[in-house]
Amino acid sequence: MKKSLFILSILVLSSIYCAAQIEVVYAKAKDFSGVGFGAFLNFSIPVTEGNAVTLEVGLQSVGHVGDGLITLPVLAGYRYTFDQSGTGFYIAPNA
């Protein structure tokens, strides 16, 4: 337990940028449609002066308990800053 807490704290403390987001979700499938809420956390770990590896984790809940839909999206990406300063225009593809 101490080892995993240590690794988690190193990852959180080494990130130079962290953002959170709350969203409203609408999902529609065959016999299901509903509105719900979601939340995301986005972490950036610097690789060079103007570039960073990003990790985004989230939770989305739609519908009622028992007949709803819950998703746990995870995205990994890379943020490239065009002027290499870390504060200008950038592109950030995610997968």
Secondary structure (DSSP) of 18-87: EEEEEEEEEEE-SS-EEEEEEEEEEEEEESSSSEEEEEEEEEEEES-TTT-EEE--EEEEEEEETTSSSS
Write the CA distances from 17 to 26, 44, 65, 66, integer angstroms.
Answer: 29, 5, 34, 36
More confident call, 12 vs 83: 83
Q: How far is CA 65 from CA 25, 38, 47, 69, 70, in A?
A: 16, 15, 41, 9, 10
Could you read off the pLDDT of 30-71 as tens digits, one per residue?
Answer: 878 888 899 988 888 888 888 889 999 999 988 876 778 888
Q: What is the tens place of the pLDDT at every residue in 75-95?
A: 999 999 998 887 789 898 999
Domain ranges of the chain: 2-91
